[in-house]
Structure 1
Amino acid sequence: MDYEDILIALKSGNVPKNGTRDLCMGREKEVEEFERLLDKVDNDERAIVKFVNGEFGAGKSFFLKVVEEMAFEKNFVVSWITLSNDIPFNKIDVVYKNIAKNLKCKTGTSLDHIIDRWITGLKMMAFEESSNPQKQNEIVRENLYADLAETRLHANSFAIAIENYNRLMNEEDYQTAAYVKAWLRGDSNIPFTEKRKFGVKGDVTKENAINFLEALSIFVKSIGYAGLLVLIDEAEFIMNLHTKKLRDIAYNYIRDIYDNCNLGKFQNTLFLFAGTPELFENDKKGIPTYEALDDRLKNVLNTDLADMRKPIFDLKGFSEADLKEIAGKLTIMHEEAYKWNASDKINPILDDVVAIHVENAGLTGGKVTPRTFIRSFISILDTVQQNQSFFKKSSDILEIFREQENSAKDLNFDEIDEFDDDW
């Protein structure tokens, strides 16, 4: 694991590409619950929808990355999309296209890779059963047809296209085979004459996109994966849609997915939406404006006690103990990355650093957000490591830190980052 890359990403306010599970502290209950949910999706063929609620900088994207790493370890196929002008949730066909486009598994990326890897596996099994090429092709077709049986029930054209993809590859018609995979990904710019060659009509539309998504989720399970994880970040973008009608369409698609999961139309799928409190609480543009969805998600108990089994769970700010644990981990990583003794310099002032953060957060009525603390603490480590001769005693470090905190309060990093919430 490259600790320097991780530290640079964290200091920049970004989610590291790898290693988030090891850094996920203060979220033990949440991690434990998602371990359970992923196992339930895999073993019980369940489909589940969950929502993460957290302020900017609370670690929503970071937590999604943790769940992604957990899912890869359990052999899930994962797709991560971030809602934006280019991916608005009121256009469910566009959402499907981006989910299909962003598919990943632990062995590679793309729907193309997943399909080709599966068919290659079928061919290897056929090769072991027979030395006759004609018989091998027959065995592959039979097994392929059997694996697609349940997929066919949700989107028959999806299954037909994959069957014909195998045929076209055997016939060495690679151009049309490429069109098949593009069509499965939702590409609508494929000539009718080409679609006719692989037995389909039409395209992925807003009317059939959820059926295609259901078929995709069943397909990945049927070919040997544990299931499908769909991560939907920055769901609060729905509130930026210009009219109530567009927002209602988006919220209704979420309701459709939520209900279809509960009714068993989706299988082996976990949807995880991440959004800010505004999405869940704003009565002008948020979910409360769409009663059919709000009734399904709102908390029926008025209590602050934790309940990880609610549709929505909150990512709270860090406690003092959480901050000390994270600081200790970051100090060790920094020592490894830059080959110096950070502990001797930092540990004597650690309690004071944490206390200042807790005090500053208390002035605004909240807890310390992960991003705020981590960026600040790594800045201390970087500065001290590069200027060790300047810091003769621990109080010198604390003085620099206080100056940094005063500057940060004047600049208000959280307001600057509000519209680029990588965490």
Structure 2
Amino acid sequence: MQVSPRRRQEIVDSLRRGTVPQRGLDVMAVGLDRFAPTIKAELGVVANGGAQFKAVRGEYGSGKTFFARWMSETAKAADFATAEVQISETETPLHKLETVYRRIVESISTSSAQPSAFKEIVDSWFFNLEGDVVDGGVDPNDRQAIARATDELIEKRLANVSRTAPAFATALRGYRSAVERGDSAEADGLIAWLGGQPHVAASVRRYAGIKGELDHFGALGFLQGLLAVLKDAGYAGLIVILDEVETLQRVRSDVREKSLNSLRQLLDEVDAGRFPGLYLLITGTPAFFDGQQGVQRLAPLAQRLETRFETNPRFDNPRAPQLRLTGFTYESLHELGGRIRDIYADGADNGYRVASAVDDRFIDSYAAKIAGQLGGKVGIAPRVFLRQLIDVMDKVDLYVDYDPRREALGEAGPLTSLTEEEQAAIRRGEVRVPTPVGVDDIDLGI
């Protein structure tokens, strides 16, 4: 498995911290092969001017965040821009679309630019527009003629956006003018305003001839403008991931109703073709999609998301509005552990010793041990298992006399650093969390 030293280090460092890596997820995509052809086909539809929506459901530990990051990385390889937004009651309430838009701009990234790549995207757009007007016959040495022709082209390219959000095009022209004149403070202020940032100085807004701040009703128009800019800047489209939408179940009933209605509005707009080049992905738990405190509370939304799941997940339809993640099994946990071991060993100072000591039999035993300490909850195990597996391999790499079979598979204390969600998942299973005293004491449930 060929992985560059930089990607290898990013993967290992993230797993050491117990987090999902931002990049390099293709080498860790265990069990996602069945979704890949459909996702790639739908990305192709979006790249050709269509729009798509998908909901991903799964219990805690089933890999929803991993799936979202994997899809984001897959999309970037196909020249998409991506944005990941964590929905929360206080930081990013779903019913305030102006805040959601602002978070999209703050988190937007591309294969070559990290968040926020918004300014780079806008600058690339203007560069392409100027190239188009020069190709159309405008003298490349006549800056005034180029400026006039570019303004006219902006109006044409943003004609649909200007009908619903005229201030977007006005601010873009103001930004370009500020850049041309070297007014950096005004240029930075206008980029912030275009990104939905509140409290931009009144002097900056006067500079461009715009008024007020972005509100809930203008947010969708600005998103439409962002998509138009991305397309002309050479990108295939935009992936927007709304993660952890199940948090809506825990908010006040009036806020929940407004948030669910905002989600329905977004889906309707996608269906209506208002957002060409947009792929909207949301993630949530089964309780959110099926329970009365979630999607089922709003009948029109429930109808749009309705999906029939077979008893056997192997026959789930990946083209349906919802995808179901079933979580890890012992087999997939073993496969993932083997992949991470190979990645680690390829870049370790003592890679041969790591590969020899942390062999397939050890990974089998260690995966069973971690799952046993989690009450047999294999679906909760990946984060904890990988974090501790990295720790074991670090010690094998550092200490020549460290024996992982004796030290790591021997007597163990209770697991530490479990998140609240992991602890809650164990409690929901109403299981007693055992502390195995040896590998032979682990009940595999076979």
TM-score band w.r.t. shorter chain: 0.7 to 0.9
Give 1:389's aligned residue: 401
Does structure 1 residue 42 correspond to structure 2 residue 50? no
Partner of 2:391: 379
Please state how far the C-alpha of 1:195 moved relative to its aligned partner: 2.8
TM-score between the two structures when normalised by the length of structure 2: 0.82
Moved over 6 A (4+): 358-362
Q: Displacement, 1:378?
A: 2.6
Pair 1:332-2:342 in alignment: yes
Which residue of the partner structure matches residue 97 of structure 1?
102
CA separation of 1:146 and 1:403: change in aligned 2, threshold 3 A: farther
CA contact (8 A) 1:59 1:371 kept: no
> Would you say the 8 A contact 1:228–1:270 is kept in 2?
yes
After TM superposition, the structure 1 = structure 2 runs for residues 47-58 of structure 1, keeping only pairs within 5 Å, are 47-58=51-62
Change in CA separation of 1:323 and 1:230 when aligned onto 2, cut-off 3 Å:
same
C-alpha distance in 1 between matches for 2:175 and 2:363: 60
Instruction: Specify which of 297, 307, 317 is matched with residue 305 of structure 2.
Output: 297
- Change beyond 3 A, Cα 1:126–1:107: farther
Distance 1:356 1:190, change over 3 A: closer
Task: Report the equivalent of 2:128.
Answer: 121
In terms of mean alpha carbon deviation, does 123-132 or 74-83 score higher?
123-132
1:48-91 C-alpha deviation (Å, 9 max, x unpaired): 12122222232222222211212221111222111222111122
Give 1:4 deviation, angstroms. Answer: 3.5
Rounded to whole Å, the distance in 2 between the matches of 1:15 and 1:48 is 25
CA–CA separation in structure 2 for the residues paired with 1:6 and 1:113: 26
Change (3 A) 1:327 1:124: same
Q: What is the distance in 1 between the residues matched to 2:105 and 2:9?
A: 32
- Structure 1 residues 153 and 47 mapped into 2: Cα distance closer, same or farther (>3 Å)? farther
3-state SS, counterpart of residue 335 of structure 1: helix
Task: Return 5+ residue gaps in structure 2 as ranges.
Answer: 425-446
Distance 1:148 1:416, change over 3 A: closer
Given the alignment of the two structures, is residue 25 of structure 1 paired with residue 30 of structure 2, yes or no? yes
How far is 1:167 from its partner? 3.1
Q: How far apart, CA to CA, are the structure 1 residues paired with 2:180 and 2:401?
A: 69
Counterpart code for 1:183: W
- C-alpha spacing 1:19/1:155, structure 2 compared with 1 (3 Å): same
Question: Within 5 A, what are the aligned runs for 1:105-254?
Answer: 105-108=110-113, 109-124=116-131, 126=133, 129=137, 130=139, 131-191=141-201, 194-241=204-251, 243-254=252-263
1:197–1:389: structure 2 CA closer, same or farther, 3 Å change rule? closer
Q: Is the 8 A contact 1:56 1:414 kept in 2?
A: no
**1:160 touches 1:200 (CA, 8 Å); kept in 2?**
yes
Please say if residues 353 and 398 of structure 1, whose CA atoms lie closer than 8 Å, have aligned partners that are also in contact: no
Cα deviation, residue 192, structure 1:
5.0
Give, in whole Å, the separation in 2 of the partners of 1:38 and 1:173.
39
Distance 2:323 2:167 in 1: 37
Say which SS state the counterpart of residue 236 (structure 2) adopts: coil
| Cα 1:363/1:333, change in 2 over 3 Å | closer
* CA distance in 2 between partners of 1:290 and 1:65 (Å): 29
Alignment of 1:345-364 (within 5 A): 345-347=357-359, 348-356=361-369, 363-364=376-377
Return the alpha-carbon distance in structure 2 between the equivalents of residues 372 and 192 of structure 1: 50
Match of 2:81 among 62, 66, 77: 77
Query: What amino acid maps onto 1:330 in structure 2?
Result: I
Structure 1 position 267 matched with structure 2 position 267: no
**Greater relative contact order: 1 or 2 (C-alpha under 8 angstroms, separation 6 or more)?**
1
Q: Which amino acid aligns with 2:104?
A: I
The alignment of Structure 1 onto Structure 2 pairs a total of residues equal to 408
Letter in 2 for 1:91: K
Q: Which runs of 5+ in 1 are unaligned?
A: none
CA distance in 2, matches of 1:132, 1:86: 47
Find the counterpart in structure 1 of residue 409 from structure 2.
Answer: 401
Cα distance change of structure 1 residues 165 and 307 upon mapping to structure 2, 3 Å threshold: same
Are the aligned partners of 2:50 and 2:276 in contact in 1 as well (CA < 8 Å)?
yes
Between stretches 215-224 and 45-54, larger displacement belongs to: 215-224
User: Matched residues in 2 for 1:39 and 1:418: separation?
Assistant: 40
Q: CA deviation at 1:354?
A: 4.5
Q: Kindly indicate whether the alpha-carbon contact (under 8 Å) linking 1:47 and 1:268 is maintained by their aligned counterparts in 2.
A: yes
Structure 1 position 343 matched with structure 2 position 347:
no
What SS class does the counterpart of residue 28 from structure 1 fall into? Answer: coil
For the structure 1 residues 225 and 398, does the alpha-carbon distance in structure 2 shift closer, same or farther, using more than 3 Å as the test? same
The CA distance in 2 between the partners of 1:190 and 1:354, in whole Å, is: 52
**Structure 2 residue identity aligned to 1:229:** I
Q: 1:110 Cα shift?
A: 3.0
Q: Is the 8 A contact 2:101 2:196 kept in 1?
A: yes
- The residue type equivalent to 1:286 in the other structure is G
CA 1:32–1:357 in 2, change beyond 3 Å: closer, same or farther?
Answer: farther
Q: 1:55 to 1:122 in 2, by over 3 A?
A: same
Deviation track 1:24-53 (CA, whole Å, cap 9, x = no partner) reads: 12211223322222111102x121121222
Distance of aligned partners of 1:264 and 1:401 in 2 relative to their CA distance in 1, 3 Å threshold = same
Give the residue type in structure 2 aligned to 1:297.
Answer: L
SS in 2 for 1:313: strand
Q: Counterpart amino acid of 1:349? A: F
Name the aligned partner's letter for residue 52 of structure 1: V
- Deviation by residue 1:188-235 (Cα, 9 ceiling, x = unmatched): 324556434423333211222223223322332233211111112222
Q: Does the 8 Å CA contact 1:226/1:268 hold for their aligned counterparts? A: yes
Residues 286-306 of structure 1, C-alpha deviation per residue, up to 9 Å, x if partnerless?
222232322221324554431
2:310 matches 1:310: no
